[in-house]
Structure 1
Amino acid sequence: MGALEVRLRPVAEGDLAMLRRFVTEPGLIGLDWAGFRDAQAPARRFAVDGYLGVDDSRVIVEADGTAAGMMSWSVRGFGVSRYWEIGIALLPDWRGRGVGWRAQAMLCDYLFTHTPVERIQAFTHPENIAEQKSLEKAGFRLEGVLRAVEFLRGQWRDGWMYSRLRSDPYPPIV
């Protein structure tokens, strides 16, 4: 049994049902669930720019031709410098199968090819060992802990910051 074929593609109208699920189904996105959100927001955003904005975008992660989840990237800054922050949400059936790290590596390759940024960063929860391994396999390095950075499930929680620089070696995408 070979590796799954993973690719990124723009959001299509048929993907809106999955994006609505991410904002309305408790626990579907695991530790990142932050409560119910506007179920119509995905359709409104899609109508504006198809989720391909200048400072904030999303693409669909496909595995073997099936929508497995989505990835996002948003502009962040420090002083006058700008960089990307990425995120991923996979449906439960696709987790632990090598889809996430491949998609993260592909998105970095895309962003380094089509934008002039030097840095891409990603956050995860201290207990999300699978995501930590995925980021490392995709070429990210742990930078440190951000204390009490996120309010989630009634408490302030720490976050782990990872980054990948344009000059870092590209991981082999198998």
Structure 2
Amino acid sequence: METRETSIEGVIVHDLVAHIDERGSFTEIYRETWLTDFKSIQWNIVTSREDTLRGVHVHKDHYDYLMILAGRMLLGLHDIRRDSPTFGTSEILDLTDEHRRAVSIPPGVCHGFYYPEASTHLYSVSTYFDPRDDLGCKFDCPELNLAWPTKDPVLSDRDRTADSYAQMLDKFYLDANA
């Protein structure tokens, strides 16, 4: 297994190794030693239909660790951590089931998931759901600088009515300073 950082500090891509033989394959997807700042407390599986976009979300306190099991995901990332050397940096990672990769996302890095085809992804979090730690903005806010390949994806009601980028930042930093 090899790891590499993305253009956003703290976002790590884990290139996973499949051990293949005549029976099929075996791939380790997570070891506690791979991420010293992350402790997994819950695992989830999400299925998404073609042209679905989930997010964009950001967390003040919890880490995400994810991978695609079937299909394809474009993972949009944007750093809003003022003390980060990559503050304001954006990147889209192309994750597929063919090239097994896991990605760890630290608090303060916005993330959105676009599925150009029906897909299933597995993810883990380091804290249980807390609505105060689950902030977001509209996927197409220009400040995100994320070039999604769609203008009208399938969205949840929550994502369709999400805050503006400025409102999300205000909530993120207001609560951090309280």
Q: Which TM-score applies when normalising by structure 1?
A: 0.30
Structure number having the greater helix percentage? 1
Higher relative contact order (CA 8 A, sep 6+): 2
